[in-house]
Amino acid sequence: MNADAPARVSPRDSLGRLIALQGPITVARFMAEALTHPRDGYYMRADPLGAAGDFTTAPEISQMFGELIGLWCADCWRAMGAPDPVLLVELGPGRGTLMADALRAAATAPDFRAALDIHLVEASPALRARQEDALAEAPPSWHNDFADVPQGPMLLIANEFLDALPIHQFVATAQGWRERLVGLDDDGFRFVLAPGATPACALIGANPIGEAGAVLEIRPTAALLARDIAERLAADGGAALLVDFDKTGPSGDSLQAVRGHKRHDVLADPGSADIAAAVDFAALAEAARGARVHGPVPQGEFLETLGLGARAAALAVNATPDQAAAIDSARHRLTAPDQMGILFKAFAITAPDMPAPAGFATS
Ligand code: SAH
């Protein structure tokens, strides 16, 4: 299908019906419905990850990613005073690959591995099934929402989870910031501007008006999540590691869709493509006041500091030439500046009394 062709909206389509009924909706609502609508949502129906799917993530590129994060967690656990039990929480675990790799690495520290109480926050039944398979030997508990995870000393990890949380977009006009909405015409979904202030305009705060047409992105659910995580870490101890592609500050239009490893029109055939937007780590840092924040640090630098080179060399010892080439190529994809090395960033939130975790020592 031509990604630029406007999508015909089927009358059965839930988003089309919603807009036909109540008028244009916010970009945040559009994103939430497109990704996690219980019946039509992109993540709810199938497993979109991997070479045969729509996009590939760091844990799917190499086992080394999850292994290094597992060791990072073990390190943090010792800095916390080795609490037993300790919650190991993952937000949006995809196929469960990162967690499976992290647990295998954690097994090299048996006292740490034995202390782990594993909790996954996952909206998708299809992906929960994949996670259940991947983690058959370490059955986790599942939750729809982070708020449902029990309290206690905690290690939390999330890779490419925050980018899926809905953003509000605002466009600079002569009348001030106006929220960008998604409407519907005969040819399909269309971006329109709200004629006046919308409730989400309250989120803009002190952001000065930009040049006409400038776009501002604000993700209130991520700020709330960062605040919740920070409060729990300050109360019970622990550390959270959030990895995602970032933007510096709220400015700029980063909304994008991907299908079959290619850019896709965000508004075309929602539910059939992944939709994501860059993460504003500065906004998360602001929301996490009360805890300590570390980074963001470029992913390449973070992984190399954690020992990616040594891990790759260890894996290469028993590898065939083809396997050794695959290990090299995975390391390159994860760390090279023109690959994921700079675009993706690692960011940590810790209890205020924790030392800077591994990989963040200079922050
Ligand atoms: N962390 C995995 C998967 C990233 S894709 C990896 O790196 O491979 C995003 C993940 O977040 C998927 O598991 C998706 O189902 C989940 N997800 C997206 N929005 C969610 C929400 N609002 N609540 C819970 N899980 C969500």
Pocket of ligand 1 from Cβ distances under 6 Å: 35-36, 43, 49, 57, 59-60, 92-94, 98, 121-124, 127, 159-161, 164
Q: What is the mean pLDDT of residues 322-351?
A: 96
pLDDT exceeds cutoff 80 at 52? no
Tell me the best of 29, 37, 43 to mutate to test the pocket of ligand 1, counting ligand atoms within 8 Å of each CB and taking the most: 43
Q: Which atom of ligand 1 is closest in space to residue 90's alpha carbon?
A: 1
Quote the distance between the C-alpha of residue 111 and its chain's center: 29
Nearest CA to ligand 1 atom 17: 92
**How many whole angstroms from 273 Cα to the centroid of ligand 1?**
14
- Please identify, by atom number, the ligand 1 atom nearest to the C-alpha of residue 32: 22
| pLDDT tens digits, 208-225 | 998 999 999 999 999 999
State percent of the chain over pLDDT 90: 84
Q: How far is the CA of 139 from the centre of ligand 1 (A)?
A: 19
Q: Count CB atoms within 10 A of the CB of residue 93.
A: 29
The lowest-confidence range among 5-14, 23-32, 39-48, 49-58 is 5-14
Residue carrying structure tokens 């729990």? 232
Ligand 1 atom closest to Cα of residue 44 = 15
Q: Is the pLDDT of residue 65 over 70?
A: yes
In this predicted structure, what is the pLDDT of residue 10? 53
Q: How many C-beta atoms surround the C-beta of residue 193 within 10 A?
A: 15
Give residue 363's pLDDT band: very low, low, confident or very high (50, 70, 90): very low
Q: Is the pLDDT of residue 195 over 80?
A: yes
C-alpha span between 72 and 239 (Å, rounded) = 10
pLDDT, tens digit, 9 for 90 and up, residues 144-154:
999 999 999 99
Among 91-95, 130-134, 244-248, which is the least confidently predicted range?
244-248
Ligand 1, atom 20, lies closest to the CA of 123
Distance 8 CA to ligand 1 centre (A): 28
CA angle 108, 110, 116 (to 5 degrees): 110
Concatenate the DSSP letters of all residues of 218-238 into one string: E-HHHHHHHHHHHHHHHHH-E
- What mean pLDDT is reported for the chain? 93
Closest ligand 1 atom to residue 43 Cα is 15
User: Nearest-CA neighbor of 284 among 243, 356, 225, 362?
Assistant: 225
Task: Please state, as a whole number, how many other Cβ atoms lie within 10 Å of the Cβ of residue 164.
Answer: 20
pLDDT band at 1 (very low <50, low <70, confident <90, very high): very low
DSSP 351: -
pLDDT of residue 2: 46
**Residue 56 CB partners (closer than 8 Å, separation 6+):** 49, 50, 261
- Write down the pLDDT at residue 14: 85
CA of 164 to the centre of ligand 1 (A): 7
Give yes or no for residue 11 having a pLDDT over 50: no
Q: Whose CA is nearest to atom 2 of ligand 1?
A: 94
How far is ligand 1, taken at its centre, from the CA of residue 218, in Å? 19
Which ligand 1 atom is at minimum distance from the Cα of 160? 4
**pLDDT tens, 73-114?**
999 999 999 999 999 999 999 999 999 999 999 999 999 999
Average pLDDT of the segment spanning 268-290: 94
- Centroid of ligand 1 to alpha carbon of 96 (angstroms): 10
Q: Tell me how far CA of residue 98 lies from CA of 43, 160, 301, in angstroms.
A: 18, 11, 19
Task: Tell me how far the alpha carbon of residue 160 lies from the centroid of ligand 1, in angstroms.
Answer: 7
